[in-house]
Amino acid sequence: MKTLYLDLGEKSYPIYIGKGLLEQTAQLTKHIASKQVMIVTNTTVAKLYLDKVRDLLVDFTLAEVVLPDGEQYKTLDTINTIFTALLEARFERSCTLIALGGGVVGDMTGFAAASYQRGVNFIQIPTTLLSQVDSSVGGKTGVNHRLGKNMIGAFYQPKCVLIDVDTLDTLDDRQYSAGLAEVIKYALLGNADFLCYLQNKIDGLIDRDQDLITQIVYQSCFDKAEIVAQDELEAGKRALLNLGHTFGHAIENTLGYGVYLHGEAIAVGMLMAAKLSALEGFIGSHDVQQVKHLLQKANLPITINSKIRTQDFLNAMRVDKKTINGEIRLVLMQKLGQAFISNTYQTNNLKQIIKDFL
Amino acid sequence: MKTLYLDLGEKSYPIYIGKGLLEQTAQLTKHIASKQVMIVTNTTVAKLYLDKVRDLLVDFTLAEVVLPDGEQYKTLDTINTIFTALLEARFERSCTLIALGGGVVGDMTGFAAASYQRGVNFIQIPTTLLSQVDSSVGGKTGVNHRLGKNMIGAFYQPKCVLIDVDTLDTLDDRQYSAGLAEVIKYALLGNADFLCYLQNKIDGLIDRDQDLITQIVYQSCFDKAEIVAQDELEAGKRALLNLGHTFGHAIENTLGYGVYLHGEAIAVGMLMAAKLSALEGFIGSHDVQQVKHLLQKANLPITINSKIRTQDFLNAMRVDKKTINGEIRLVLMQKLGQAFISNTYQTNNLKQIIKDFL
């Protein structure tokens, strides 16, 4: 097992990464200060891992909430079902919530923990590659609104993140590839060495080589923890983690949540960002080809193919937390492995890219 | 105008108290860093003060949300209407929300500000006595759940609190008295001198003497700011501000929100706490009489008169953020002007008090 620490002063916490962690009671329970523990999961993950986590918690007063599976359920209404379950079980302010599942479960459980009685403890047990490498680390929690993705939420840090890479054994190929998109993101935005590594190891990763997987989960969490420690509330540098996301969120929002998995939308979004970066003269067409090639090798989509109008897509892009004075700020690539935030790109170039993809 | 500061490090902010503050543009606008400003108010307050505040904000991109008036609308659903309005107006993370109204408007606007795009700026302009002396100061925000009052929310501090005591001119007598309940609370929980003052001045206060009102608003905010500065997240001392509230919330919840105004429920709750304190041997019957007399002089209710069963009332009391291991912790009075948190009272005494009041 490897351990990383996200350094946030009093809010610091460990990230455990390894095999068989869901067999180790103390690893989880040493972070639970309360008697009352609620596991929040979804229908898919419950079948696979709920018994296992339940077995770790025999000494606690346990409650469970099993949510429907899918991004389309990441809403305030679903959060309210968690509140209702907490209140019906008479859970107190000292209680602990455990998010067992992917990014949607983690984001919602975290926001529920942030808001229940104005804040209770929570722990992340991410079971998808995407949540292990990205959403479980860093304290971004929340839900979608009909008019925009992740528009409601809180910065709220867990007490620990427990990543058992064995849980990826049950992850289907599509979800696994969606997770790889966020791994590739770290490489493209700030780690050229990691990009080389991924390009070299992508075949082994697609073959699900466990040592390679553990390594990329560790490297992704390492890179993310470093950025979040510098800028928890996204006043600056943290926005780089949004590479591909302004495009990606617009894809998810205009196509409807769930048509593309989040990671798939981000993959297309990163290619759009790369192409815009090339049009803007930062990177060359060879670089764009490299991005495209890696995404394809990772079995990720590189097209949208929809009937969305450019203007509608642009409007959806504008509903973004980085927007300032109606101006869409984008994470572009200075070169591969070095992203930056731009508000000086040519709007025509942006429109051209959108048109090419729609 | 008097100015107080709530000292919370980087989150510190001023509380302005005076007459005619809603005529002074700069007093408000110097705390707004954004172009986009949304005023959140309710149907009652909009008729009285929306134009006035709008006039202060001619240089801004203004949006307005007018909520229905009443505690029964303090729900997640209502919060969602604020989110929808923000998104429809394309409000960005730099925007500012202004709560113009009483405690319900302030609590909801604050929670919406805490959660919109994971946190935007907000300003409190409380227009009722209750919100001026209590809910606008200290950063407690949130909504009710069907199963419990204030069970969902966040600690989230405003950029400033602007208290124009002139707004109390339009407050009806019932609402005014409800505010006096929270003023009396500060005296009973920690300020014996202030209790004497209130006992001496209660007639003038009921006659709405403006100088007296300004003085009690100032003193209440002073006392609250001091306690909150010591214990923002209610790990200890801040719970004393809950004097009367465990009883009061149970009254509101079992009778239905809106039957008793919040301050009215707190008045009865404080008398219940006083009577339990007497049964427990801390204060004498003369002290209880003093509490009762002051509440009566303030035109506050001192009875419940309902058909609620003792057990149902007890169950409602248990849904409280102070509850530990199912045990109801209560703020009791060591003596008048000195409260403490108790979990060692006799359950039979508590039941006796509830029975006497139901």
Q: Is A324 on the interface with B (CB under 8 A)?
A: yes
**CA B89 to chain CA mean position, Å:** 30
Give B191-254 as a DSSP string.
Answer: -HHHHHHHHHHHHHHHTT-HHHHHHHHHHHHHHHHHHHHH-TT-SSGGGGGGTTHHHHHHHHHH
Q: Contacts of residue B93 in chain A, CB cutoff 8 Å?
A: 321-323
Show the low-confidence residues of chain A (pLDDT under 70).
Answer: none
Q: Is B26 on the interface with A (CB under 8 A)?
A: no
Predicted confidence at residue A305, as pLDDT, reads 80
Q: Are A125 and A162 in contact (CB under 8 A)?
A: yes
- For the record, the structure tokens of A18 come out as 């390894």
Q: Are A318 and A326 in contact (CB under 8 A)?
A: yes
CA nearest to B327 within chain A: A92
**Number of inter-chain CB pairs under 8 A, A vs B:** 99
- For the record, the structure tokens of B237 come out as 């001392």
Nearest C-alpha of chain B: how many angstroms from A13? Answer: 20
Predicted confidence at residue B125, as pLDDT, reads 98
**Please, which pLDDT band fits residue B325 given cuts at 50, 70 and 90?**
confident
Q: Contacts of residue B233 in chain A, CB cutoff 8 Å?
A: 118-119
The ipTM assigned to this model is 0.94
Predicted confidence at residue B306, as pLDDT, reads 86
Q: Is B151 in contact with A116 (Cβ distance < 8 A)?
A: yes
Q: Are A124 and A158 in contact (CB under 8 A)?
A: yes
Q: Based on the number of CB atoms within 10 Å of its own CB, is A351 exposed (0-12), middle (13-18) or buried (19 or more)?
A: middle
Q: Is A108 on the interface with B (CB under 8 A)?
A: no
Q: Is B87 in contact with A319 (Cβ distance < 8 A)?
A: yes
Q: Contacts of residue B79 in chain A, CB cutoff 8 Å?
A: 76
Q: Are A67 and A40 in contact (CB under 8 A)?
A: yes
**Please, which pLDDT band fits residue B159 given cuts at 50, 70 and 90?**
very high
Average pLDDT, chain B: 96
Q: Contacts of residue A326 in chain B, CB cutoff 8 Å?
A: 90, 92
- Give pLDDT tens digits for B221-274: 999 999 999 999 998 999 999 999 999 999 999 998 889 999 999 999 999 999
**Does pLDDT of B55 surpass 90?**
yes
DSSP H/E element including B51: helix B51-56
CA nearest to A139 within chain B: B118
Predicted confidence at residue A222, as pLDDT, reads 97
Question: CA B285, CA B279: separation in Å to the nearest integer?
Answer: 9
Domain annotation for chain B: domains and CATH numbers: 2-170 (3.40.50.1970), 179-357 (1.20.1090.10)
Predicted confidence at residue B326, as pLDDT, reads 87
**CA B18 to chain CA mean position, Å:** 19
Which one of B87, B114, B145 has the shortest CB-CB distance to A147? B87
CA dihedral B180, B186, B188, B192 (to 10 degrees): -110
Q: Is B33 on the interface with A (CB under 8 A)?
A: no
User: Mutating which of A79, A80, A108, A115 best tests the B interface, going by the most B Cβ atoms within 10 A?
Assistant: A115
pLDDT above 70 coverage of chain B, percent: 100
Q: Is A318 on the interface with B (CB under 8 A)?
A: yes
Query: For residue A189, which of A134, A232, A244, A122 has the smallest C-alpha distance?
Result: A244
Which one of A116, A145, A324 has the shortest CB-CB distance to B92? A324
Query: For residue B224, which of B245, B238, B213, B244 has the smallest C-alpha distance?
Result: B238
Nearest C-alpha of chain B: how many angstroms from A192? Answer: 31
Give the CA count within 13 Å in the CB-facing half-sphere of B31.
23
Q: Is B83 in contact with A152 (Cβ distance < 8 A)?
A: yes
Who contacts A161 (Cβ-Cβ below 8 Å, separation ≥6)? A13, A14, A15, A16, A123, A124, A125, A126, A136, A137, A221
Longest dimension (CA), chain B: 61
Q: Is B93 in contact with A146 (Cβ distance < 8 A)?
A: no
pTM of the model: 0.94
Q: Are B223 and B190 in contact (CB under 8 A)?
A: yes
Predicted confidence at residue A348, as pLDDT, reads 96
